[in-house]
Amino acid sequence: MSPREPRFGGVIPPVVTPLTQDGEVDAASLERLVDFLIDAGVSGLFALGSSGEAAFLTDARRDRALEVAVRTAAGRVPVIAGCIETTTGRVIERAEIAAKLGADAVVATAPFYARVHPVEIDRHFRVIRAAVDLPLLAYDVPVSVHSKLAPDLVLSLAADGVVDGLKDSSGDDAGFRQVLLGSSGLAGFSALTGHELVVDAMMLAGADGAVPGLGNVDPHGYVRLLRACAEQRWAEAKAEQDRLTRLFRIVEAASPATAGGSTRGVGAFKTALALRGVIAGAAVAAPMRELTPEETRTVAAHLEEAGLL
Amino acid sequence: MSPREPRFGGVIPPVVTPLTQDGEVDAASLERLVDFLIDAGVSGLFALGSSGEAAFLTDARRDRALEVAVRTAAGRVPVIAGCIETTTGRVIERAEIAAKLGADAVVATAPFYARVHPVEIDRHFRVIRAAVDLPLLAYDVPVSVHSKLAPDLVLSLAADGVVDGLKDSSGDDAGFRQVLLGSSGLAGFSALTGHELVVDAMMLAGADGAVPGLGNVDPHGYVRLLRACAEQRWAEAKAEQDRLTRLFRIVEAASPATAGGSTRGVGAFKTALALRGVIAGAAVAAPMRELTPEETRTVAAHLEEAGLL
Amino acid sequence: MSPREPRFGGVIPPVVTPLTQDGEVDAASLERLVDFLIDAGVSGLFALGSSGEAAFLTDARRDRALEVAVRTAAGRVPVIAGCIETTTGRVIERAEIAAKLGADAVVATAPFYARVHPVEIDRHFRVIRAAVDLPLLAYDVPVSVHSKLAPDLVLSLAADGVVDGLKDSSGDDAGFRQVLLGSSGLAGFSALTGHELVVDAMMLAGADGAVPGLGNVDPHGYVRLLRACAEQRWAEAKAEQDRLTRLFRIVEAASPATAGGSTRGVGAFKTALALRGVIAGAAVAAPMRELTPEETRTVAAHLEEAGLL
Amino acid sequence: MSPREPRFGGVIPPVVTPLTQDGEVDAASLERLVDFLIDAGVSGLFALGSSGEAAFLTDARRDRALEVAVRTAAGRVPVIAGCIETTTGRVIERAEIAAKLGADAVVATAPFYARVHPVEIDRHFRVIRAAVDLPLLAYDVPVSVHSKLAPDLVLSLAADGVVDGLKDSSGDDAGFRQVLLGSSGLAGFSALTGHELVVDAMMLAGADGAVPGLGNVDPHGYVRLLRACAEQRWAEAKAEQDRLTRLFRIVEAASPATAGGSTRGVGAFKTALALRGVIAGAAVAAPMRELTPEETRTVAAHLEEAGLL
pLDDT (tens, 9 = 90+) of chain D, 309 residues, equals 456 789 999 999 999 999 999 999 999 999 999 999 999 999 999 999 999 999 999 999 999 999 999 999 999 999 999 999 999 999 999 999 999 999 999 999 999 999 999 999 999 999 999 999 999 999 999 999 999 999 999 999 999 999 999 999 999 999 999 999 999 999 999 999 999 999 999 999 999 999 999 999 999 999 999 999 999 999 999 999 999 999 999 999 999 999 999 999 999 999 999 999 999 999 999 999 999 999 999 999 999 999 999
Question: How close C115 comes to chain D (CA, Å)?
Answer: 5
Contact C243, C306 (CB under 8 A): yes
Residue C239 at interface with chain B, using a CB cutoff of 8 Å: no
State yes or no: pLDDT of C3 exceeds 70.
Answer: no
* Upstream peptide bond of A3 is cis (omega within 30 degrees of 0): no
Per-residue pLDDT at D4: 75
Consecutive H or E run containing C105:
strand C105-109
CA distance C120 to D175: 33
Interchain proximity A120–B288, CB inside 8 Å? yes
Q: What is the pTM of this model?
A: 0.97
Asked whether the predicted pLDDT for residue C254 surpasses 90, the reply is yes
Answer whether A200 sits within 8 Å of D205, measured CB to CB. Answer: yes
CA gap D148, A257 in Å, rounded: 19
**Which chains lie within 8 Å of chain A at 3 or more CB pairs, if any?**
B, D
Q: What is the pLDDT of residue D1?
A: 44
D21 CB within 8 Å of a chain C CB = no
* DSSP H or E run through B39: helix B27-40
C174 vs B181: CB contact, 8 Å cut-off? no
Q: What residue ranges do the domains of chain A occupy? A: 10-219
Q: What ipTM does the predicted assembly reach? A: 0.97
Return the closest-CA partner of residue A244 out of A193, A199, A292, A276: A199
Asked if omega into A13 is within 30° of 0 (cis), the reply is no
A204 in Cβ contact with D234 (< 8 Å): yes
Relative to beta strand D209-210, strand D10-11 is: parallel
Q: How confident is the model over B63-90, as pLDDT tens digits?
A: 999 999 999 999 999 999 999 999 999 9
**How many angstroms separate the CA atoms of D161 and C70, rounded?**
44
Q: Dump pLDDT digits (tens) for A184-238.
A: 999 999 999 999 999 999 999 999 999 999 999 999 999 999 999 999 999 999 9
Contact call for C113 and D145, based on CB within 8 A: yes
Q: Of all residues in chain B, what percent are helix, strand and coil, respectively (each to 5)?
A: 50, 10, 40
Residue B236, C-beta contacts closer than 8 angstroms, at least 6 positions apart: B228
Indicate the average pLDDT of chain C.
Answer: 97
Whether residue A58 lies within 8 A of chain B, CB to CB, comes out as: yes
For C264-293, how does the pLDDT look when each residue is reduced to its tens digit (9 = 90+)?
999 999 999 999 999 999 999 999 999 999
The reply to whether residue D204 touches residue A204, judged by beta carbons under 8 angstroms, is yes
Whole-number pLDDT of residue D161:
97
How confident is the model at residue D3, as a pLDDT?
Answer: 65
Q: How many CB atoms lie within 10 A of CB B158?
A: 22
pLDDT of B3 reads 65
User: What Å distances lie between residue D154 and B195, B295, C151, C231, D137, CA to CA?
Assistant: 42, 52, 40, 56, 10
Q: Does D101 touch chain C (CB under 8 A)?
A: no
Check CB contact under 8 Å for A114 and B256: no
The pLDDT of residue C4: 75
Handedness of CA A257, A261, A262, A268 (dihedral sign): positive
Please indicate if any CB of chain B lies within 8 Å of the CB of C142.
no
pLDDT per residue as tens digits for the range A253-283: 999 999 999 999 999 999 999 999 999 999 9
Residues in chain C: 309
Which of 242-281 (C) contact D at CB < 8 A? 256-263
Top residue of C48, C57, C84, C86 to mutate, by most chain D CBs within 10 Å, is C86
Q: Name beta bridge partners: D166.
A: D138, D191
- How many CB pairs (< 8 A) connect A and B? 144
Q: Is A235 on the interface with D (CB under 8 A)?
A: yes
- Across B207-235, b (16+ Cβ under 10 Å) vs e yields bbbbbbbbbbbbbbbbbbbbbbbeeeebe
Q: What string of DSSP letters covers chain A?
A: --TT--SS-EE--B----B-TTS-B-HHHHHHHHHHHHHHT-S-EEESSTTTTGGGS-HHHHHHHHHHHHHHHTTSS-EEEE---SSHHHHHHHHHHHHHTT-SEEEEE---SS---HHHHHHHHHHHHHH--S-EEEEE-HHHHS----HHHHHHHHHTTS-SEEEE-SS-HHHHHHHHHHTTT-TT-EEEE--TTSHHHHHHTT--EE--GGGGT-HHHHHHHHHHHHTT-HHHHHHHHHHHHHHGGGGGSS-TTT--HHIIIIIHHHHHHHHTTSSS-----TTS-PPPHHHHHHHHHHHHHTT--
pLDDT of residue B1 exceeding 50: no
H-run or E-run covering D78:
none
> Which regions of chain B does DSSP assign to beta strands (E)?
10-11, 45-47, 79-82, 105-109, 136-140, 165-168, 190-193, 209-210
Q: CATH homologous superfamily for B10-219?
A: Aldolase class I (3.20.20.70)
pLDDT band at A4 (very low <50, low <70, confident <90, very high): confident
State whether the Cα torsion C185-C190-C195-C201 is positive or negative. Answer: positive
What does the pLDDT average to over B172-201?
Answer: 96
pLDDT score for A1: 44
What per-residue confidence (pLDDT) applies to C2? 54
- Portion 186-205 of D in contact with C at CB < 8 A: none
Q: Which of A170, A172, A173 to mutate to test the interface with D (most CBs of D within 10 A)?
A: A173
Residue B303 confidence class, pLDDT cut points 50, 70, 90: very high
Model confidence band, residue C200 (pLDDT cutoffs 50, 70, 90): very high
Pairwise CB contact (< 8 Å): C88 & D287: yes
CB contact, 8 Å: B84 with chain A? yes
User: In chain D, whose CA is at the least distance from the CA of A174?
Assistant: D197
State the smallest CA–CA distance between residue C196 and chain B in angstroms: 8
Nearest CA in chain A to D170: A172
D-contacting chains (≥3 CB pairs under 8 Å) = A, C
Residue A128 · residue A88 · CB < 8 Å:
yes
Disruptive mutation site among C22, C64, C117 for chain D (greatest number of D CBs within 10 Å)? C117
Interface residue of A199, A214, A232, A234 to substitute, partner D, most D CBs within 10 Å: A234
pLDDT, residue A5, reads 86
Dist CA B269 CA B213 (whole Å): 8
Q: Is C171 touching B (CB cutoff 8 A)? A: yes
Question: For C58-106, what is each residue's pLDDT tens digit?
Answer: 999 999 999 999 999 999 999 999 999 999 999 999 999 999 999 999 9
Q: For residue B169, which phi and psi values (nearest 5 degrees)?
A: -115, 30
The mean per-residue pLDDT over the stretch B99-106 comes to 98
